[in-house]
Amino acid sequence: MKMDHKKAKILALKKWKTGSFSISVFGSILAGTNTMLFRHFLLLCCFSIAASSGAQIPKGALSLWLSADSGVVSTASGVQEWKDRSGRGLHARTITSKAPALVPSGQNGRPTVRFNGVDNGMVTPPCATFPGKRGTVVVVTRCSGRSATSGVGYNNFIATYHGKRARAVWQFGTYEKNFSFYDGIGGRLTHAGSEVIGEWELLTLVRYDDSLMCLYRGGRRLHDFQVADVVPDTNSLKIGFNGKLSEDSIPEVLNGEIAEILVYDRVLDENELALVHGYLSQKWGLALASPPVWQRWWFYALLVTATVAITIWLTKRIAFQKLRKRLQKLEKQAAVEAERYRISRDMHDEIGSGLTHIALLSELIQTQQKRDEELQKDVGTISASARKLVESMSEIIWTLNPQNDTLENLLAYLREQTGRYFEPFALDYAIQFPDNLPPISLTDEERRNLFLTAKEALHNALKHSGATKVLLRIVYQESRVHFYIEDNGRGFDKAKARPGSNGLKIMERRMTDMGGGFAITTLPTGTVVHFYFLPHGLRAAAATTYFTSAGKKH
């Protein structure tokens, strides 16, 4: 009975979509209709099936292609021939007394060729493997146990090695947990990975140059290793064993199965290897190895995130550095402006007032008729004002000189000025400085504040205390520099200080502005002025010995 034309078409389409298109369906369709449409449909299906079975792999330089699901000639006694699908005609034939077995559903519902580990082996016609010392070998295989003919249990997948003859031959196989490539010299590739026994493996060997090969396992590159720099001979390929029966026994027979073998006469690039691995993985139901960390999507996402974060951080840091430099520049400009203002104020307060005083006295001398005694007194006043003016000018110039930026220079200057100050007067004075002070840098403001505070304390001891002895003492203790001006005068009552006298307040303000401290201890037997500061300019330099001066009496 003929099948209805429309019904047959629908059935064929449904089975095509579900992937269960079979030869029986094709027969039914052909029996139901002879129209040209279904002839074309059949041809299209056949082409698609053929394309799906092998169009995914590169065909260039493919010298051997043995696939257990196509071209295996098997009889009741086992596999007699395994046809080469590469077009080179390198069909493998069984040469042992017992043939390998065809397992109909060996892996993923597809047939595989089973070698018994004792006396199975197949051989191809002679061919040149790794011509030009380049090439690629791909094997889909599984070991079921140790080889019975090998003393170490070695299972051979594919080889050109055939006995004791010293020729440029090779073989590729496995121990229980190690893979090995023997290059005819003694080289060995070892990979201690997961259990090999009982697992299907997708293994790839690539020879990149004269002496470098690489092993891929499950599509992932695992290990590079060195091989002998020799030109391989033209030999027959041994499938499932590596022995020449006419010369010796069968030394190493595979105890396991082979599903597919691909041999290329050139190096496949990474894209081509990915195509081959993807095709074999899908065909034989094998999971590809996870890519290394640096090839996973989350690693790229993390890398991009880290790059963006680092870029943002660097951008902010560069902007912050620029801003800080700009602020430092503005701070320096502000400091320069403040220093200019201070200099101008000092020039106005000291030099300006002194010159004004001299000018007024000079005008009075010119406009008033005075006796010689009065005239001499006025001239003396002018002279004193001029000396004071010169002294003030010298002090300002000294504080502005950048060469005087150390505590050592300040103490030397203070010693010199103290000597000049007390020398005309009949009292004892002494200066005691420590022999070992660390090298300390001072700013212009620090030098000026310290000097003027010490000068004011010495002036008060000379003019107001009635002392006969004055001691200037410097102590370095707990990273602080302490100044002591001590006298044996009558002391004073701080609560009864002269109205309008701001000297003590100014001294205290100078030190607090520097982050230091100021204190006065006064008794009827004498006064001690104590001020200190914490140096910010400690420098790593050699120790310097400072001077010590004894008192002088006139």
Residues 416, 503 within the same domain: yes
pLDDT value of residue 137: 97
Q: Which of 352, 377, 400 is the last residue of a domain?
A: 400
Instruction: Calculate the average pLDDT of the chain.
Output: 79
| % the chain with pLDDT above 70 | 74
Residues 299, 284 within the same domain: no
Residues 511, 380 within the same domain: no
Query: For residue 166, how far is the Cα from the chain centroid?
Result: 51
* E strand spans, 488-547: 517-523, 526-533, 544-545
Domain span at residue 39?
A: 5-54
Q: Which of 28, 54, 80 is the last residue of a domain?
A: 54
Provide DSSP, 13-59.
Answer: HHHHHHT---HHHHHHHHHH---HHHHHHHHHHHHHHHHHHHTTS--
Query: For 221-274, what is each residue's pLDDT tens digit?
Result: 988 988 888 777 788 899 999 876 555 556 789 999 999 999 999 999 999 999
Residues 72, 187 within the same domain: yes
Residues 426, 524 within the same domain: yes
Residues 119, 135 within the same domain: yes
Provide DSSP, 90-154.
Answer: --EEE-SSSPPEEEEEEETTEEEEEEESSS--EEEEEEESSGGG-EEEEEEEEE-S--TT-TT--
Q: Is the dihedral of CA 364, 365, 366, 372 positive or negative?
A: positive
Tokens 């200019």, residue located: 340
Per-position b or e across 433-451, b if 16+ CB within 10 A of its CB: beeebbbbebebbbbbbbb
User: In the predicted model, is pLDDT for residue 118 greater than 80?
Assistant: yes
Residues 15, 76 within the same domain: no
Query: How far is the CA of 415 from the CAs of 13, 354, 412, 460, in angstroms?
Result: 114, 25, 5, 17
d(CA 552, CA 353): 34
C-alpha torsion angle, residues 367, 368, 372, 373 (rounded to 10): -120
pLDDT value of residue 409: 87
Burial of 309 (0-12, 13-18, 19+ CB in 10 A): exposed
pLDDT value of residue 37: 40
Burial of 270 (0-12, 13-18, 19+ CB in 10 A): exposed
Residues 307, 384 within the same domain: yes
- 298 or 204: whose pLDDT is higher? 204
Nearest to 110 by CA among 278, 288, 258, 289: 258
Nearest to 408 by CA among 221, 235, 546: 546
Residues 522, 388 within the same domain: no
pLDDT value of residue 534: 87
User: In the predicted model, is pLDDT for residue 43 greater than 50?
Assistant: no
94's CB contacts (< 8 A; 6+ apart) are 78, 79, 80, 81, 100, 120, 121, 122
User: In the predicted model, is pLDDT for residue 193 greater than 60?
Assistant: no
Residues 110, 225 within the same domain: yes
Q: Which of 45-49, 181-185, 462-466 has the lowest mean pLDDT?
A: 45-49
Q: What is the CATH number of the domain that holds 445?
A: 3.30.565.10
pLDDT value of residue 33: 38
Q: What is the CATH number of the domain that holds 168?
A: 2.60.120.200
Q: Which of 239, 274, 290 is the last residue of a domain?
A: 290
Q: Which of 129-133, 393-397, 431-435 has the lowest mean pLDDT?
A: 393-397
Residue 273 token pair: 């290897």
pLDDT value of residue 537: 56
Query: For 28-38, what is each residue's pLDDT tens digit?
Result: 433 443 444 44
Secondary structure percentages of the chain, helix, strand, coil, to 5: 40, 25, 35
pLDDT value of residue 446: 86
Please, are residues 127 and 234 in contact by the beta-carbon 8 Å criterion? yes
Residue 225 token pair: 């290793």
Residue 418 token pair: 């103290």
**How many structural domains compose the chain?**
4
pTM for the model: 0.51
pLDDT band at 496; cut points 50, 70, 90? low
Q: Which of 245-254, 322-331, 453-462 has the lowest mean pLDDT?
A: 245-254
- 550 or 203: whose pLDDT is higher? 203
Q: Which of 260-269, 422-431, 527-536 has the lowest mean pLDDT?
A: 422-431
Per-residue pLDDT, averaged over 150-154, amounts to 85
User: In the predicted model, is pLDDT for residue 55 greater than 80?
Assistant: no
Per-residue pLDDT, averaged over 398-404, amounts to 71
Residues 157, 36 within the same domain: no
- 520 or 231: whose pLDDT is higher? 520
Residues 38, 82 within the same domain: no
| % the chain with pLDDT above 90 | 37
pLDDT value of residue 511: 92
User: In the predicted model, is pLDDT for residue 489 greater than 60?
Assistant: yes
User: In the predicted model, is pLDDT for residue 399 greater than 90?
Assistant: no
pLDDT value of residue 366: 67
Query: For 76-101, what is each residue's pLDDT tens digit?
Result: 999 999 999 999 999 999 998 899 99
